[in-house]
Amino acid sequence: MIDGTEIRVRRPAAGRKDRDKFVSGKTKQNAVKAMVLTDAEGRLLYCSPVRPGSCADITQARQLGLVELLSDSPFMEILADAGYQGLGAQTGGQVVTPPHRRFKKNAPDWYEERHELQRKAHSSRRIRVEHGIAHLKKWRALARHLGRREHMSDIVQAVAGLLSHQQSAALSRGVQA
């Protein structure tokens, strides 16, 4: 499962040329974005280096080489949210996103019910990635970062490594984290 997450950071100093690039379009706050991959149980498998908050999820996935990686690998299903619409066609159906709405207006009643059931089924299957992100963000260093943005990638990947180790240690002991 794949999803992007935003971590709030300090606002760049006045007069910096790239000041607007950290403003997230989603939350309207200064943030950096990381892409997180988890397994079906919500255990962290990968956390990407951070990008400025204005970067879209699908753009970040393309820049990290996800499309090329999946085209060269055996078939696997990766559940994603609507931010990754279009990657399914580029990866031969390996990235599965929620269904599109066929009707914008005046949809038949049967269609509304079917679309809602499909959307809920997809959401129920991918809720584990949200749990994995929540475990990652519980760490104080990522709750709201007040240090230098230049160190954020290292901090995120260090916390992800510690969390992954913690989850695998709990799994080897037979305890569910």
Please report, for residues 65, 77, 92, 149, the alpha-carbon distance to residue 72 in angstroms, rounded to integers and kept in the order given: 11, 14, 11, 34
pTM: 0.75
pLDDT of 176 > 70? The answer is no
pLDDT at 28: 75
Write the pLDDT tens digit of every residue in 81-115: 888 888 888 888 888 888 877 777 787 888 888 88
Q: For residues 115-136, give the mean pLDDT.
A: 88
